[in-house]
Amino acid sequence: MPTDAKETRPAGDAGSACELHSMHLRFVRLLPLVLITFVAGHPTRCEGRVPPLRVGLLVHRERVAFSGGAGLKVYAGRGRRLPPLSAPAGETWQARREGREIVVSDSRGAEVARARRRLRILPAAGGTVTILDVPGHWDKRTTRAYRGMIEIRTDRSGGLTVVNIVDIETYLRGVVPSEMPANYPLEALKAQAVAARGQALIKAGRHRRQGFDLCATQHCQVYGGATSEDPRTDRAVAETRGEVLTYHGRLADTLYSSTCGGHTANNEDYWPDQRPVPYLRGVPDFEPEDGVDLSFPLAGDQLKRYLKYAPRVNCYQSRYAASDKIRWWETVKRAEMKRRLAEALGDFGDLLDLRVAGRADCGMVEKLAVIGSRKLVTVEGGRRIRSLLGLQSATFAIESYRERPSDLPVVFVIYGAGWGHQVGMCQVGAAGLADKGWDYRRILEKYYQGCVVVKRY
């Protein structure tokens, strides 16, 4: 990946005191001490209300280790008059569950506090709390710093849940660089910031039963906290502050995925149980001036050619494109394919063949026929088909190779286009368009047709 020159930090920090104030207002009844500590010395006038979020970082943990810089305060929260504990800068403390209580011990293992059900940790203004051993990329454990407040609470599993309470603009500073490389063009990063803001607002609350709004993984959006922040993505968040996409005045569900390969998909092509969403229609990811001679739906040889060789579409022209995400192929032996399928579909006998039985206009496979010696199984919807076969996307073709025409297939060759669910904004395509000089509004309005950018606060 090319690295761009570092840009200076934007005026985004100007809003943080206001945001923190707004965030703390929500906990006015729960945390009078925190509020007093925090509001003192901070401006109290805000331009608008910045929504606070509860982001789940860890669940079902036996113990949680944390540390912070100077001024870190731990609120054990039993009784209003209990003053907070000050943790020495850089020292690692540990919280563990003991019955209904949370026991905090210092680095020597000596008990320093006991909390009933909930413990809150607050850094000094502008500081962070570091949590050790949180999930990182590819399931590796890592250490991450977080702005805002950390809440450790007992959960129903008998373990501990760790929640980061943070305003949405600060949350986005940890999301945008986790969801899109920070060296992408600024206008693409701004489009990503607006899309991610919409996703946070739409998805907030889906983990309510676990005690938080959003998780920090791909299930909601990947959130890496302050450790992931970058001056370029900070700027993209600050320059789009409060902006969301709406469709006829209602917040739009701004789904996005890595690489469409040439055409995005309708939401119901991938999720057949969903009703068609008017602004989540598949669009060609190329412009008239690109000279791409394709008119969807494609069929026959034209479809095969499209799935094998990428035309000069936005996500392919982009210098940020990864060639193995644009077009890909794999060969799977029949026995291995049978094993993969039987795990999910049960016993269908011997695997005689595998065929595409239905295709959406964008090229996505909507129906897959698994022809077994005992029965025929039809699998529907891009999502199910993709996960069943373990593919990069659901836009593909299958060829079966036999030694003699009367034989069973020896091997299946699968080749396809794109990476991800392909619904909504194509992130690599957005980078390609930004390089062509498009601004973030125009990019968003291309991928989410009929939507407009609106400033909510």
The residues binding Zn ion (CB under 5 A) are 215, 219-220, 260, 285, 315, 426, 429
Hey, CA dihedral for 149, 153, 155, 159, is it positive or negative?
A: positive
The nearest distance, CB 405 to Zn ion, in angstroms, is: 38
Nearer to Zn ion, 123 or 418 (CB): 418
CB 107 within 8 A of CB 91: yes
129-135 and 141-146 beta bridge pairing? antiparallel
The nearest distance, CB 264 to Zn ion, in angstroms, is: 7
Nearer to Zn ion, 215 or 244 (CB): 215
d(CA 266, CA 272): 10
Give me the phi and psi of 450, to 5 degrees please.
Answer: 90, -5
**Helix, coil or strand: residue 371:** strand
CB 35 within 8 A of CB 20: no
Nearer to Zn ion, 54 or 334 (CB): 54
The nearest distance, CB 94 to Zn ion, in angstroms, is: 26
Nearer to Zn ion, 324 or 350 (CB): 324
The nearest distance, CB 354 to Zn ion, in angstroms, is: 27
Nearer to Zn ion, 165 or 315 (CB): 315
404: DSSP letter: S
The nearest distance, CB 225 to Zn ion, in angstroms, is: 16
Torsion of CA 357, 361, 363, 365, to 10 degrees: -30
The nearest distance, CB 215 to Zn ion, in angstroms, is: 3
d(CA 169, CA 159): 30
d(CA 253, CA 196): 10
Nearer to Zn ion, 230 or 361 (CB): 361
